[in-house]
Amino acid sequence: ALGKGTELEKAFATVALVYNNSTDPEGKLSKSETKTLLQTQFGSFIQGQENKPKYQEIISALDEESENKIDFEDFMILLVSLTLMSDLLQEIKNVKTTK
């Protein structure tokens, strides 16, 4: 859909597609499905974060037995939160690219 889009537009389109391809017919993910999706598709960002209190808080919320499902807005907030605390983000920020 965004073959000619910018890198940032393509990145967000990819997030939306990955999310949509994983959801139930209502367009939502269970908490366990969300956790699995993060582990399989976002592993480089969450790797090594296990000892951070905020990470533990987020993951424990996904482990709770609950009927609550995650919609796309909540998924994006979760993704951004995990990205901001990630050690990988700090490494990426330290890399300067030239074009």
- Most confident stretch, 23-27, 51-55, 62-66: 23-27
CATH class for the region spanning 7-98: mainly alpha
Determine the pLDDT at residue 15.
94
Determine the pLDDT at residue 41.
92
Per the structure block, which two tokens stand in for 64?
């709770």
Residue 54 pLDDT > 70, yes or no? yes
Work out the number of other CB atoms within 10 angstroms of the CB of residue 50: 9
pTM: 0.80
Question: Who contacts 38 (Cβ-Cβ below 8 Å, separation ≥6)?
Answer: 46, 78, 79, 82
Per the structure block, which two tokens stand in for 94?
């330290």
Parse the chain into domains and list their residue ranges. Answer: 7-98
Rounded average pLDDT over 47-61: 86
Q: Is 3 exposed, middle or buried (0-12, 13-18, 19+ CB in 10 A)?
A: exposed
